[in-house]
Chains A and B, each alone.
Chain A
Amino acid sequence: MGVDFDTVYVDDVSRHYGRRRALAHVTLEARRGEVLGLFGPNGAGKSTLISILSTLLRPSGGGVRYGAHTVGDTGDALRGQIGVLGHDLYLYGDLTARENLRFFGRLYGLDRLEARVTDALGRARLSDRADDRVGSFSRGLRQRLAFERALLHAPRLVLLDEPFTGLDDDSAQVLIERLRTLRDAGHIVVMATHDFDTAEAVVDRSLCVDRGRAWPVADGAGTLRERYRRTLAGRA
């Protein structure tokens, strides 16, 4: 069953871990062709929100719709339209870069797999390290590979948790360009990060997440960081 969607709707979503509240009544939309930035202090609930959007976690209350679909009615097919770059990179250290991409490509049932893998290695600028074990890579190289792994199946919804971690300046700029390309190609990108300066170059809309609640970062003058701080101070 093919599943596609233009908008992701998060409706009054709450999530509790035992007695601890990670998210409380969060409502938002993420639309096709936009990069939505999630900003907030550590432990604010950003990663929990990403996990719920990725279908890994179920909300304790509220729900998420992917266009007209929900996790319950589309099952496995929906996950084929979601790509996730987590804080942990989801790569096998004992496999080579090429084997990692090939393995995940097979799980996603991709056609033209070898061509896609070669292209992905090229975009990650790892063609010369394709047959080296990932365990021997630096954090930055693994981050680049993990990013391309998340995009190998051309997902509609791209979820990124701290995508700039470990990247040098050049790699961060390449990632920014890649995110712009994704946006222009009609993907929905949701990105949680603390890197305001880098993210400002690409985010279309920003949300401030704090103590499990989310609201738009204030418009107006100043950099993204300054507007975020104003928003946070106004809600304190």
Chain B
Amino acid sequence: MGFLQTVWTIARKDLVIEARSRELAYTTLFFAVSVVLVFSFSFVVEGVALTDAAAGILWVGIAFSGTLALGRTFERERQSDTLKALLLSPVERSAIYVGKLVGVLLLMLVVEAVVAPVVGLLFQAPIGRAPLLLAGLLVTGTLGFAAVGTLFAAMLIRAQSRDVLLPVLLYPITVPLVIAGVRGTAAIFAAEPNLAVAQAWLSMLVFFDAVFLTLALWVFGPVMGE
């Protein structure tokens, strides 16, 4: 079976399960919107948001809800030890990793498609000012975050304290991604927008993605071997 066929088979299986249960979509969406809503009471005073608050809150919501999605996605593979069944099949292990990554990535992007307008509404953030650039920042930032998170979530599947360990491992490593995402988004949302700066941060995110994806593809097979 080809690499891309395997990726699609695994991702589609995850999407079918999610479409049926809608557990992850509802919980991550509810959690992300709640985070944004709570912060809006602190950072929006008399209808005016603090400088750069919108960008920060948006990315905090993405990171927190993404962590929740990653943990639950692999919890499903743990329940009947189905990750072992995937590893026993005659497919490239890197294809298993990418398949799981695609499933998580699509879910996070759906959540972001809802959360970004909520941030725009509550923080008066101009999300329509450079929509393609904003979408690029969100997609590349989410890809990098999910790339690292998928690897760690798979590694921790047999750890008893995996729910605690996942954010402990994930956040320090993805800090550069989140900072790049926040600064790029803030450059778009600023009163005097600087799209060149946003593009520079987007380039940085593409670079991080390339590094994280390469490392994750490289180590997934050996790590899952034990």
Residues on A lying within 8 angstroms of B by beta carbon are: 54-58, 76-80, 82, 84, 86, 88-95, 99, 103-104, 106-109
Contacts and interface: CB of A to CB of B under 8 A. Distances in A.
A196 B92 CA distance: 38
A44 B148 CA distance: 37
Interface stretch (B43-51, B83-91, B113-121, B190-198): B83-91
B81 A95 contact: no
Nearest to A99: B16
A88 B84 CA distance: 10
8 contacts: A58-B225, A79-B90, A84-B85, A86-B81, A92-B13, A95-B13, A103-B13, A108-B89
B225 to A, nearest CB: 6
A26 B76 CA distance: 35
Interface string B6-24: 1001100100110011000
A109 B10 CA distance: 13
Q: Please report whether the interface of chain A is mostly helix, strand, loop or mixed according to DSSP.
A: loop
Output the residue of A79, A80, A94, A107 with the most chain B CB within 10 A: A107
Given A92-B17, A94-B20, A107 B89 contact: yes
B132 interface: no
Interface in B152-167: none
Contacts of A77: 90
A171 B212 CA distance: 49
B183 to A, nearest CB: 40
B80 interface: yes
Contacts of B38: none
A109 B20 CA distance: 25
A86 B89 contact: no
Interface residues of B, number: 26
A95 B77 CA distance: 13
Contacts of B16: 95, 99
Contacts of B9: 103, 106-107
A91 B80 contact: yes
Given A94-B17, A95-B13, A95-B17, A107 B91 contact: yes
Interface in B45-98: 76, 79-82, 84-92
A77 B225 CA distance: 16
A82 B88 contact: yes
Nearest to A107: B89
B85 A104 contact: yes
Contacts of B88: 54-56, 79, 82, 84, 90
Nearest to B89: A107
Contacts of B87: 56
A106 B1 contact: yes
A17 to B, nearest CB: 10
A77 B90 CA distance: 6
B86 A92 contact: no
Contact of A104 (B21, B76, B81, B89): B89
A147 B120 CA distance: 53
A158 B44 CA distance: 63
A41 to B, nearest CB: 23
From B79, B82, B90, residue with most partner A Cβ within 10 Å = B90
A39 to B, nearest CB: 23
A74 to B, nearest CB: 10
Contact of B80 (A56, A57, A58, A90): A90
B82 A92 contact: yes
A60 B125 CA distance: 57
A144 B80 CA distance: 15
A104 B85 CA distance: 9
A145 to B, nearest CB: 11
The 7 A-B residue pairs with the shortest CB-CB distance, nearest first, are A88-B81, A80-B90, A90-B85, A109-B1, A107-B89, A76-B90, A94-B17
Q: Which of B10, B17, B79, B88 has the most CB of A within 10 A?
A: B88
Contact of B226 (A54, A57, A78, A80): A57
A99 B20 CA distance: 13
A227 B194 CA distance: 82
A92 B89 contact: no
Given A76-B90, A76-B92, A108-B89, 13 more contacts: A56-B87, A58-B225, A80-B89, A86-B81, A88-B84, A89-B80, A90-B81, A92-B13, A95-B17, A104-B85, A106-B5, A107-B9, A108-B1
